[in-house]
């Protein structure tokens, strides 16, 4: 059918989509405040945006949706690499 199961794909989409949405909202908020964001602060905000994934991960485990939880876990790993890249190169 495809490379990823539907629930795993949904976990990846939710796990990446929620932090991207939160980071975008925070960047719009800080831009509206006209405060300068340094790269270290941006990496910290990006790391904090991944916290809601913790709730999705444990909720999926509690509901025995292991493939969804696996997708959320992989998205957290990808988000951590993104945050590391922001910290290292930003």
* pLDDT tens per residue, range 32-85: 666 666 656 888 889 999 999 999 999 999 999 999 999 999 999 999 999 999
Contacts of 79 (CB under 8 A, 6+ apart): 15, 16, 19, 46, 49, 50, 53
The pLDDT score that the predictor gives to residue 36 is 62
* pLDDT tens per residue, range 7-24: 999 999 999 999 999 999
The pLDDT score that the predictor gives to residue 23 is 93
Q: How far is CA 14 from CA 84, 87, 88, in A?
A: 20, 24, 26
Total-model pTM: 0.86
The pLDDT score that the predictor gives to residue 28 is 87
């Amino acid at each position: 059918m495809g490379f990823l199961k539907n629930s795993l794909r949904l976990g990846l989409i939710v796990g990446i989509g929620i932090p991207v949405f939160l980071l975008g909202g925070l960047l719009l908020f800080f831009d509206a405040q006209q405060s300068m964001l340094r790269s270290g602060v941006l990496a910290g905000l990006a790391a904090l945006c991944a916290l809601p994934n913790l709730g999705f991960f444990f909720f999926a485990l509690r509901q025995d949706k292991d493939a969804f939880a696996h997708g959320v876990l992989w998205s957290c790993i990808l988000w951590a690499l993104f945050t590391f890249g922001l910290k290292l190169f930003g």
